[in-house]
Chain A
Amino acid sequence: MTGLTLLFDVLIPGLKIAAVILYPMTMVIVMIWMERRVVAFIQGRLGPNRVGFQGILQPVADAMKLFFKEDIIPRQADRFLFNLAPVLVMVSSLLAFCFIPLGESFEIKGYAIELWIAQSPVGLLLVLGLSSIGVFGIIFGGWASNSKYPLMGALRSVVQVLSYEIPLGMTALTVVFFSRSMDLVAIVNNQKDAKVWFGFLLPASFLVFWISGIAETNRAPFDLPEAESELVAGYHTEYSGMKFAFFYIAEYAHMVLVSSLVVILFFGGWLPPFPNVKALAFLHGLPGFAWYLIKIMFFLYLYIWIRGTLPRYRFDVLIKLVWKWLIPLAVLNFVIVALAWYLL
Chain B
Amino acid sequence: MKSIQEIFQKVFLLDILQGLLVTLKHYFSPKVTIQYPEKVKEPAARFRGILRLFRDERGEPLCIACKACQRICPTKCFEIEGARPEGGKILRPTRFDWKLDRCSFCGLCTEVCPTFAIRFSREFRMSLLAKEPLLFHLENMYIEGDALQDRLCGGCLE
A interface vs B, CB < 8 Å? Answer: 38, 41-46, 207, 305-306, 308-310
Q: Which 9 A-B pairs rank lowest in CB-CB distance, beginning with the nearest?
A: A46-B33, A309-B23, A309-B19, A42-B23, A41-B27, A308-B23, A44-B32, A46-B31, A45-B33
Secondary structure type dominating chain A contacts: helix
Partner of B20, one of A41, A44, A46, A309: A309
With a cutoff of 8 Å between Cβ atoms, the chain B residues found around residue A305 in the complex are: 20, 23-24
What separation, in Å, do the CA atoms of A310 and B24 have in the docked complex?
Answer: 13
1/0 per position for B50-67, CB-CB distance to A under 8 A?
000000000000000000
**Residues of B16-73 contacting chain A, CB below 8 A:** 16, 19-20, 22-24, 26-27, 29-33, 35
With a cutoff of 8 Å between Cβ atoms, the chain A residues found around residue B19 in the complex are: 309-310
Contact B26 A310 (CB under 8 A): no
With a cutoff of 8 Å between Cβ atoms, the chain A residues found around residue B24 in the complex are: 305
With a cutoff of 8 Å between Cβ atoms, the chain B residues found around residue A38 in the complex are: 27
Contact A43 B26 (CB under 8 A): yes
Partner of A44, one of B13, B22, B31, B35: B31
Contact A45 B20 (CB under 8 A): no
Chain B residue at smallest Cβ distance from A311: B19
With a cutoff of 8 Å between Cβ atoms, the chain B residues found around residue A43 in the complex are: 26
What separation, in Å, do the CA atoms of A147 and B15 have in the docked complex?
Answer: 39
What separation, in Å, do the CA atoms of A41 and B30 have in the docked complex?
Answer: 9
With a cutoff of 8 Å between Cβ atoms, the chain A residues found around residue B26 in the complex are: 41-44
Chain B residue at smallest Cβ distance from A49: B35
A281 to chain B, nearest CB (A): 31
Chain A residue at smallest Cβ distance from B16: A310
Chain A residue at smallest Cβ distance from B24: A305
Chain B residue at smallest Cβ distance from A306: B20
What separation, in Å, do the CA atoms of A310 and B13 have in the docked complex?
Answer: 12
With a cutoff of 8 Å between Cβ atoms, the chain A residues found around residue B29 in the complex are: 44
A312 to chain B, nearest CB (A): 14
With a cutoff of 8 Å between Cβ atoms, the chain A residues found around residue B16 in the complex are: 309-310
Chain A residue at smallest Cβ distance from B26: A42
Sample 8 A-B pairs with CB under 8 A, ordered by A number. Answer: A42-B26, A42-B27, A45-B31, A45-B33, A305-B20, A309-B19, A309-B20, A309-B22
Inter-chain pairs besides A309-B22, A309-B23, A310-B19, 9 sampled, C-beta below 8 Å: A41-B26, A45-B32, A46-B35, A305-B20, A305-B23, A305-B24, A306-B20, A309-B16, A309-B19
Chain B residue at smallest Cβ distance from A307: B23
With a cutoff of 8 Å between Cβ atoms, the chain B residues found around residue A46 in the complex are: 31, 33, 35
